Structure 1
Amino acid sequence: MSDRPRLLLVDDDLTFGEVLQKALVKRGFEVFVAQTVEEGLAQAARLTPEYAVIDLRIGHDSGLVLIKKLKELDANTRIVVLTGYASIATAVEAVKLGAVHYLTKPADADEIVAAFHKEEGDVGVAIKDKPLSARRMEWEYLQKVLLEHHGNISAAARALGMHRRTLQRKLDKRPVKE
């Protein structure tokens, strides 16, 4: 092991992971990459990283599980969540579980490194003039219900009164732009 800070990167996108790994190595980290939740858990237990970059959706699994496990291994691990599926519900849960920041893809290495060191919120963040669209609000609500049922699509579908496959189709789509 080197004296460089250890960083665990868990993302199922192989190309994105390789590019981000190289960029983070250039910024002084010793980077270990995993492409599944199971690989991420095994590496975390072996390495006890100081930093972690976790994709929110890893295949069909949730990166939120990793946040909780990493914090159990070492409460001082600085975790940034990256996602192409941003929602208010998942951002709130990620921070509640111990992530220091939540970034939407594409995020570059400099944004990620800066996010590791953010200690406080930014009161200068702009508040949007118009509310979310009805389609975006539906997507956000589906995400909230899914989180309430611990990622169990069947249970969430029952709670919503819809067929499981219908919910799955709605969740597989990218979030509606605001």
Structure 2
Amino acid sequence: MTDQTPALNSSEDMTLLIVDDDKPFQQRLARAMEKRGFTTETADSVQDAAGKIAQNAPAFAIVDMRLEDGNGLDVIEQLRQRRPDARAIVLTGYGNIATAVTAVKLGAIDYLAKPADPDDIVAALARKPEDKAQPPENPMSADRVRWEHIQRVYELCDRNVSETARRLNMHRRTLQRILAKRAPR
């Protein structure tokens, strides 16, 4: 661990569930976390994770957002129901603010973009709720913030384009063009 990484109390439960359908990434992350003192278990799917949580809910979880059989947020929700004190973070290669907000509301303590450094993951898992994360080195551009806001409203409207356009006071075709484009950097 680096000097900047907060240490976890070695006397606490160090069980960790890693849920990711990218097997090579999952295995590399498991080895890295074991070197940092965790007792790891892995799952490839929402169903596999649900079974492991039902058997023995871990103290920590690292969950990929998009899994072959569903959404990583379902895993976060199941973990929160079985073990309310568990500390979980969401990893994703497809980040947006709406999903991050949902993840936090369901009980995730942080939301990191893939590929995340193991030291950053440990820091996120160890961070106390009252401690704030460091501001990003490269914050989002104004165009990206606008795009994220539109995506959030779109998700809140259950992906209904007409309703989203009405709430944003935007023409429906304009919204469709924005939604069809990739996210700005």
Q: Which residue, out of 15, 38, 42, partners 1:33? A: 42
* Per-residue deviation, residues 86-136 of structure 1 (Å, max 9, x unmatched): 101111111111111111111021111110011235375258484024xx7
1:68 alignment partner, SS class: helix
How do 1:70-149 and structure 2 match up within 5 A?
A: 70-119=79-128, 120-122=130-132, 125=135, 128=139, 130-133=141-144, 137-138=146-147, 141-142=150-151, 144-146=153-155, 149=158
* Per-residue deviation, residues 42-94 of structure 1 (Å, max 9, x unmatched): 11111110000001111262111111110000101110111101101111111
- CA RMSD, aligned part only? 3.1
> For residues 122 and 6 of structure 1, what CA distance do their matches in structure 2 show?
24
Structure number with bigger Rg: 2
Contact 1:67–1:79 (CA under 8 A) maintained in structure 2: yes
**AA of the residue aligned to 1:93:** T
Structure 1 residue 176 and structure 2 residue 179: aligned?
no
1:103 alignment partner, SS class: strand
> For residues 18 and 147 of structure 1, what CA distance do their matches in structure 2 show?
35
Contact 1:81–1:102 (CA under 8 A) maintained in structure 2: yes
Contact 2:153–2:164 (CA under 8 A) maintained in structure 1: no
* 1:23, distance to aligned residue in structure 2 (A): 0.7
Question: Which 5+ residue runs of structure 2 have no aligned equivalent?
Answer: 1-11, 166-171
CA separation of 1:144/1:90 partners in 2, compared to 1, >3 Å: closer, same or farther?
A: farther
Q: Which residue, out of 19, 32, 48, partners 2:28? A: 19
Contact 1:7–1:30 (CA under 8 A) maintained in structure 2: yes
2:50 alignment partner, SS class: helix
Q: Number of residues paired by the alignment? A: 162
2:103 alignment partner, SS class: helix
Contact 1:4–1:28 (CA under 8 A) maintained in structure 2: no
Question: Which 5+ residue runs of structure 1 have no aligned equivalent?
Answer: 150-154
Q: Which residue, out of 42, 52, 57, partners 1:43? A: 52
CA separation of 1:59/1:41 partners in 2, compared to 1, >3 Å: closer, same or farther?
A: same
How do 1:62-73 and structure 2 match up within 5 A?
A: 62-73=71-82
- TM-score under structure 2 length normalisation: 0.73
